[in-house]
Amino acid sequence: MHSNITPINEYPRFWAECFGTAPFLPTSRKEMDALGWDSCDIIIVTGDAYVDHPSFGMAIIGRLLEAQGFRVGIIAQPDWSNKNAFMQLGQPNLFFGITAGNMDSMINRYTAERRLRHDDAYTPNNEGGKRPDRAVLVYSQRCREAYKETPIVLGGIEASLRRLAHYDYWSDKIRRSVLLDAKADILLYGNAERALVDVAHRLANGESVKDLIDIRGTAVNLPAVPDHYAVVDSSRIEKPGKAYVPVNPYATEQQCEQKEEKADNTVTPITVRPAPRDAAHTVVRLPSYEKLQNDRILYAHASRVMHLETNPYSGRALVQRHGNRELWINRTAIPLSTEEMDFVFDLPYARVPHPMYGKAKIPAYEMIKTSINIMRGCFGGCSFCSITEHEGRIIQNRSKESILNELADIKQKVPGFTGTISDLGGPTANMYRLGCSDPKAEANCRRPSCVFPGICAKLNTNHQHLIDLYRDARKVDGIKKIFIASGVRYDLAIESPEYIKELVTHHVGGYLKVAPEHTEKGPLDIMMKPGMDTWYRFKEMFEQYSKEAGKKQYLIPYFISAHPGTKDEDMVNLALWLKANNYECDQVQNFYPTPMSYATAAYYSETNPLKRVKYKKREEVPSAKGERQRRLHKALLRYHDPENWPLIRKALTEMGKKQLIGDRAGCLVPEEDKDVKTPAQRRQSGRHGAKRFATKHPRQPDQRRPEHKQSGQKKNKPKKQRSRA
């Protein structure tokens, strides 16, 4: 911990702590009256249903602010058609905290093909349409209409990943920072507990929100760059150097002396600026919003520069011109210590949805109600994922004692708890207590990934802390079974065979999800994922330890189609691999360009932002942008579906690969046959593609059915493995 940073659990409490802890943060005036409150100090507006559980952002932020002594109210999924719903708790004394929820509202509302979804896992009864498009903007506008003078603080993943000018997939253009579009006062990026507590206490102490321009992990709108900062200009890719002026071969020393005599002898004061290496007083200028609108390659350059400045210890502030204003991105916040993580997760969560929802089911809660988050952050750096941009590359760990205490808390508070823990993990299953073994190197590292193209020699990959945690968790009274549902980073796991043995023996429920994402080197390099050799090594160890444990368990690989860097030939090779290995993908996910990720920059610019970007010398990246090509890539993952065969046949013919059409060994799809029926027609169902396939494996019964129902099954006909991708 830096000596000049106050831990979030050591701030002096605000005077309103005398009101104590609320059973649920109030969502109505009636609940406020029951608590004896005449007003709220802070009101959180969220696009999710209010669930008082540490997996929901509004609960963590609300309980954290309550622990600081503030009175916090929640306005969950308000009617955004007018300002009335935003006035139901009155005017907050300090500020409105606005978040779209646990997901970006556009991802929540639209599929990867830009089709409107009709469900919402964060809403009671899975009902869609309870939040607007670009929820942060809409909620900010309504709060400003309701109480013009009240400060507005933006947070959550939607605001965090849109803090800079960014490519917006849904409108297919570059959009301004959400801070400017929302006309908010300050934006907090990342998990932001440290920044939020600082903002709340400084406002409570009487500071103006306009003076909060130096808080790490925040973005603000300024008229100009502060004077005490040295500016490193990265707003252009290729800067013109000084013109070379040839020396006059006939010049004489006398001429030089005459010039010196005519020189101006007036004294000019010298302005001493900090050295560019001083990260605390240096700012990097990114290309302006206006320039990025019409220059795709410059956007790739801006993305590269931004990602290089994310280290919380050596990264510098960023500034980006928007019209006549300067968007100022302060340095990344210092990660929470283990003591601070424990403080956040040990807060008095009710662990259930607010009573106002009655018996309505909230799917997202049902999925995680018995799961435990043991860490934050990810140093994998997968280019299609925004976890690193949001939570950071440095792992923030909870103590084992805090995690075991949460197990006991679940037993007491979760209705109908049966003794099964659905997950013990985080962004990835197996990065707990892993990290750089050299603090000095970690403080100066600018690598986008600690494990690609190979595992860094300084990375500690010893999984013993995680193994000990699993063993101690299994000993807790009342805990019968603990599953690991978070994705296992298998390139790390093979560095610790004992971990794989522990995982396979005790924590796999028949199937384990892993994500090779692709089989071909081109897309894997852009994804920053390991090659298939690593997958085969993990598969071999998984099967070996499963056999030793006397269990029949299977790997479920996940794949992405239409990812930048993927050619049609790559998808054909992946489909052939799936068929050769007897896999049939169930739900297929096309690449979804989300704000701020490396892959989105590659998709938009068709340039590799992982390497140095120049106009005349850059690595071009193929991107599947057209609807037909995206449909083809998705269809190739589902090569077994007759509905996809016409599209695949046509593509194979155009690619000169007609030899892959037929019934011979090594063919991908059969010859055209008008009598072929779709799977839905064969089972006499009217639901074409809406129902998920079961996950089945060769010569194995469906493990989800009782044994007595399987006795009549035919044993002589093997069934293909099915995987969700």
Specify binding-site residues for [4Fe-4S] cluster: 378, 382, 385
What DSSP string describes 433-457? T-EES-HHHHHH---S-SSSSS--T
Contacts of 505 (CB under 8 A, 6+ apart): 545, 548, 549, 551
Asked if residue 593 lies in contact with residue 169, where contact means CB atoms within 8 angstroms, the answer is yes
Residue 563: Cβ-neighbour burial (10 angstroms; 0-12, 13-18, 19+): buried
Q: What are the structure tokens assigned to 702, written together?
A: 């469906």
Cis peptide before 348 (omega within 30 of 0): no
| Residue 15 per-residue DSSP state | G
Report CA torsion sign: 21, 27, 30, 32: positive
Asked if residue 65 lies in contact with residue 200, where contact means CB atoms within 8 angstroms, the answer is yes
Residue 28: Cβ-neighbour burial (10 angstroms; 0-12, 13-18, 19+): middle
CA-wise closest residue to 187 among 92, 318, 56: 318
CA-wise closest residue to 420 among 477, 509, 482: 482
3-class state of residue 125 by DSSP: helix
CA 433 to chain centre: 20
Q: With the CA atoms of 708, 709, 714 and 717 taken in that order, what torsion angle do they form, in degrees rounded to the nearest 10?
A: -110
**Which residues are known binding-site members?**
378, 382, 385
Residue 191, beta-bridge partner list: none
Other residues' Cβ atoms within 10 Å of the Cβ of residue 76 = 23
Q: b/e string for 670-700 if b means 16 or more Cβ within 10 A?
A: eeeeeeeeeebeeeeeeeeeeeebebbbeee
Beta strand 721-723 pairing with 583-585: parallel
Question: What is the residue whose two structure tokens read 């600018």?
Answer: 446
Q: How far apart are CA 43 and CA 26, in angstroms?
A: 10
Q: b/e string for 266-291 if b means 16 or more Cβ within 10 A?
A: eeeeeeeeeeeeebeebbbbbbbbeb
Q: How far apart are CA 299 and CA 167, in angstroms?
A: 9
Q: How far apart are CA 679 and CA 673, in angstroms?
A: 15
Q: What are the structure tokens assigned to 261, written together?
A: 């005599």
**Region of residue 608 (phi > 0: left; psi between -120 and 50: alpha; otherwise: beta):** beta
CA-wise closest residue to 329 among 353, 312, 345, 344: 312
Asked if residue 85 lies in contact with residue 104, where contact means CB atoms within 8 angstroms, the answer is no
- CA distances, 381 to each of 35, 307, 444 (Å): 45, 11, 17
Strand (E) or helix (H) holding 202: helix 193-204
- CA distances, 558 to each of 422, 507, 568, 703, 720 (Å): 20, 19, 19, 20, 16
